[in-house]
Amino acid sequence: MIRHIQKLIQHKLLLPILATGCAASTLTGVTWAQDVTLRLAHGYTAASVENEVLKQTADRIRERTDGGLDIQVFSDNQLGTNADAVEQAVSGADLIAFVDASGAAEKGLPELGILSGPFLFETGEQAKKFGKSEMFQEWVDKLADNGNLRILALNWFDEPRDIIGDRAFIEPGDLNGMKIRLPPLDAWLATFVPLGAVPTSLTYGETYGALEQGVVNAAESSPNAIGAAKWGEVVKHLTRTGHIRPWLGYAMGEDSFQRLSPEHQEILVEEFKKSGEMAAEMHTGKTNATIEEMKALGVEVHMPNIPAFQEATKEFYTGSSNWPADLVDQVRDLGK
């Protein structure tokens, strides 16, 4: 509570400016925004499981706050790309944006990017355990202070990412010279560039045609995302590298977050974390069925030399100037 009030005073946010004409309540001389409308922006389709979970989340928050927090969900990048939405949130927009660990790290907390590193945890349970650690919560608060970005939840885990392409990638050297669609994020580049891959930045919508026309040899994503994008219709080799476990979730500007009452802040965080757990379970449950659907399209599934990939990508952790060399051991220990 004290921290909330101090930040409000520090930023001189003593008036409810999130919603026009909103009611207000006063606590120890501080005026909180009482009836607030927030937009939520993401790039999933309107028919996706994620969009349905988000709408359910908004409904629960609306009910728990007696309508005091109204979240309007916008799918399909209607409000701009995910990166655009994060920039809007940081700049003061009343907006909840989709984030991943690597992109959030670029807003003022470089060490958070270690979570997007290759082969960081052996299991999803280890990742979830670290996400509940004191170190992770300290990072959340530090990012809010340094980057004006408040993570509501980063536990919307999808399954680890694999590679689909016009050939199998059994050994790390098989990627040498291959054009691969990658998100334009430092963690992905630091993972694949040392393997000799040639990164190509494309949206999900552009990737199908690029694979079909041979503009890129491969793309990487979670099995469920690969299946939903139907990339298996045009390239027929899925290599189960599981190279990066995506830390996904939602965040908003810290200034906007601090205008909410402590009760509304707590409800917002609780519900987004709860929904993250639900979404992660859904992704895990769908993976095997998705792979079987890809096999039915003629996709061949290959198991790579994982130890060789781990060895080839370990420089991600030891060669970074963004964190101390022993941070990876600390993070892994907290997940055990």
Residues 49-74 have pLDDT tens digits of 788 899 999 999 999 999 999 999 99
| Alpha carbons 289 and 110: distance in angstroms, whole number | 36
Kindly state the percentage of the chain with pLDDT values over 90. Answer: 73
Q: How many helices (H) and strands (E) does the chain have?
A: 14, 13
Instruction: Say what the pLDDT of residue 188 is.
Output: 86
Tokens at 105, concatenated:
């790290």
For 66-118, the pLDDT digits (tens) are 999 999 999 988 998 888 999 999 999 999 999 999 889 989 899 999 999 99
| Alpha carbons 17 and 34: distance in angstroms, whole number | 10
Are 275 and 269 in contact by the 8 Å Cβ rule? The answer is no
Instruction: Say what the pLDDT of residue 219 is.
Output: 97
**Is residue 22 pLDDT above 60, yes or no?**
no
Instruction: Say what the pLDDT of residue 34 is.
Output: 72
**Is residue 4 pLDDT above 70, yes or no?**
no
List, in sequence order, every residue forming a beta bridge with 165; answer none if it has no partner: 218, 237
Per DSSP bridges, beta strands 36-41 and 69-74 are: parallel
Domains in the chain, CATH or no CATH each:
2-158+246-284 (3.40.190.170), 162-244+289-320 (3.40.190.170)
Instruction: Say what the pLDDT of residue 181 is.
Output: 96
| Alpha carbons 192 and 176: distance in angstroms, whole number | 9
**Is residue 151 pLDDT above 60, yes or no?**
yes
Nearest 5°: CA angle at 23, between 31 and 15? Answer: 35
Q: How confident is the model at residue 173 (pLDDT cuts 50, 70, 90)?
A: very high
Instruction: Say what the pLDDT of residue 31 is.
Output: 62
Interhelix angle 49-64/262-296, rounded to 10 degrees, is 160
Q: How confident is the model at residue 48 (pLDDT cuts 50, 70, 90)?
A: confident
For 216-269, the pLDDT digits (tens) are 999 999 999 899 889 999 999 999 999 999 899 999 999 999 999 999 999 999
Q: Average pLDDT for residues 297-325, to the nearest whole number?
A: 93
Produce one character per residue of 314-336: b if its CB has 16 or more CB atoms within 10 Å, e if not. Answer: eebbeebeebeeeebeebeebbe
> The tokens 């999130």 sit on which residue?
18
Instruction: Say what the pLDDT of residue 316 is.
Output: 93
Are 224 and 230 in contact by the 8 Å Cβ rule? The answer is no
Tokens at 62, concatenated:
């609306």
Residue 246 zone, left/alpha/beta (φ > 0; ψ -120 to 50; rest): beta
